[in-house]
C-alpha cells in the first residue's frame, strides 16, 4: 500500500493492491454487512442520491450521500455532511489477477481546527482501514 502524506493539502490519497477481482472488492465497498466488518456500520448502497449514515463510534453517526457510481469502477459519496463535508472516492482498477483500489478523501477545510484535526487523524487512520479490508477479503467465503 502506498500513501501520500498530507502536506499543506486538503486531501488524503491511498492505494492498495488486493488479490481479488473488482467484483469482489466492489461488494465489500457496497454491501452494508461487509462494510461494517472492515470500516463502519451503515446502509451504504451503490445508488446515486442514496443517503445513509456511517456509525463512526466515538465520532457519532455521520451523514453521507452517494454522488457518483460506476459499478465495479467508482464509488463516491459526500461524508460527514453536517461537520466535515468532505468527499470519499473509491476507484477500482483491474491489475493482473487482482484490483488496485484507490482512495481519495478530499475537501478538508484547513482553515478550521476540526478540518485540520480530521485530515491529520484520517490521514493516519485510512491505511489501517485498508488493511482491515484486505484482511476481510482474505477470509474464506461464507
- What are 69-117's pLDDT values in tens digits? 999 999 999 999 888 999 999 999 999 999 999 999 999 999 999 999 9
Q: In what order do the strands lie in the sheet with 86-95?
A: 2-4, 11-18, 98-106, 86-95, 74-79, 61-70, 51-55, 41-42
DSSP string of 34-66, one letter each residue: HHHHHT-EE---S-TT-EEEEE-GGG-EEEEEE
Through-space distance between the first and last CA atoms of the chain, rounded to whole angstroms: 26
Compare 4 and 129 and report the one with higher pLDDT.
Answer: 129
Q: What is the pTM of this model?
A: 0.90
Q: Which residue in 83, 77, 46, 91 sits closest to 61, CA to CA?
A: 83
- pLDDT grade for 6, boundaries at 50, 70 and 90: very low
Amino acid at each position: 500500500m502506498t500513501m501520500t502524506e498530507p502536506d499543506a493539502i486538503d486531501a488524503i490519497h491511498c492505494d492498495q493492491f488486493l488479490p481479488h477481482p473488482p467484483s469482489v472488492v466492489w461488494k465489500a465497498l457496497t454491501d452494508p454487512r461487509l462494510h461494517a466488518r472492515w470500516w463502519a456500520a451503515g446502509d451504504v448502497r451503490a445508488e446515486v442520491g442514496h443517503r445513509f449514515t456511517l456509525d463512526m463510534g466515538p465520532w457519532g453517526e455521520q451523514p453521507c450521500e452517494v454522488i457518483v457510481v460506476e459499478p465495479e469502477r467508482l464509488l463516491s459519496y459526500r461524508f460527514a455532511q453536517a461537520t466535515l463535508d468532505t468527499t470519499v472516492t473509491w476507484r477500482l482498477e483491474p491489475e493482473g489477477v487482482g484490483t488496485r483500489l484507490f482512495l481519495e478523501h478530499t475537501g478538508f477545510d484547513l482553515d478550521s481546527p476540526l478540518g485540520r484535526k480530521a485530515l491529520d487523524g484520517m490521514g493516519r487512520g485510512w491505511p489501517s482501514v485498508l488493511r482491515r479490508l484486505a484482511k476481510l477479503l482474505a477470509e474464506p467465503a461464507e
